[in-house]
A = this chain, B = another copy of it.
Amino acid sequence: MKKINFEPVDWNYQEKEAWTCPSHQFQSPINIVNDHAKPMKEDGSLILRYRKKIDAIVNTGYCVQGYLKGVASINNRLFNFQQFHFHAKGEHTIDEKEFPLELHLVHQSENGKMAVIAVLFEIGEENNSIDFILDHLNESEFDNRFNLLSLVPKNLNYYHYLGSLTTPPLTENVEWYVLMEPMTLSKKQLNRLTEIHNHNYRETQEINDRQVLKKIFHA
């Protein structure tokens, strides 16, 4: 028979009103240590089907945010696309490396579960879609053909962990998929973005008792 060891606990059913609920244990963003990330065994497929028209591009007061319709199959579950938005500088770090910009693609499942795909940006080649977004910020009428996948790398390898929203209410109900391959934008484009919002990022949080997984897709 198996030998079971119990860790000592300090609660009882007679004083339920004293039970505490440590929150802030699974917060985002985090620094991802590549060598600590365990290969993900599950299929983990990402299938992104976003409509090629954007419905609105707005300054929320906290970030530049875009809305369009779409669905994603994430590890074989269906999510509805909700919105995308930018943080400068980037929120996640990889082996302590910082990125100047991070794009969040926010999805929600029918049970309320959130899944965010994060795209990290480096300074390099310009990306026309960044100009498109800034050119039409807060506009009500424009030619709204737009391909969100132009802001997403072709290679969808990712780091995965369980975390939270990075802005209040910081809800811990979020599956994170941080894409490994960064995209680029020009220094000029980054300046246009950070003239609107700079420092709209949260510092990395403690990883605590979490296991980061990594998914490498083989062609």
Chain A contacts to B: CB under 8 angstroms = 1-4, 6, 9, 11, 13, 16, 19-27, 38, 40-42, 55-56, 58, 60-62, 67, 75-78, 109-113, 139-142, 144, 160-162, 164, 167-173, 175, 199-203, 209-211, 213
Contacts of A113 in B (CB 8 A): 162
Known: A13-B199, A78-B42. Contact between A58 and B111, CB under 8 A? no
Partner of A21, one of B19, B24, B61, B142: B24
Cβ-defined contact, A167 with B11, below 8 A: yes
Contacts of A167 in B (CB 8 A): 11, 19
Cβ-defined contact, A110 with B38, below 8 A: yes
Cβ-defined contact, A1 with B112, below 8 A: no
Contacts of A172 in B (CB 8 A): 21, 23, 172-173
**Interchain CA distance A199-B199 in the complex, whole Å:** 51
**Interchain CA distance A113-B209 in the complex, whole Å:** 12
Closest approach, in angstroms, between the C-beta of A106 and any C-beta of chain B?
14
Closest approach, in angstroms, between the C-beta of A58 and any C-beta of chain B?
5
**Interchain CA distance A162-B6 in the complex, whole Å:** 27
Partner of A170, one of B13, B19, B139: B19
Partner of A56, one of B4, B9, B27, B141: B4
**Interchain CA distance A109-B170 in the complex, whole Å:** 23
Cβ-defined contact, A168 with B211, below 8 A: no
Cβ-defined contact, B55 with A203, below 8 A: no
Q: Which residue of chain B has its CB nearest to the CB of A170?
A: B21
Contacts of A170 in B (CB 8 A): 19-21
Cβ-defined contact, B56 with A213, below 8 A: no
Known: A2-B55, A41-B78, A42-B110. Contact between A162 and B173, CB under 8 A? yes
Contacts of A76 in B (CB 8 A): 75-77
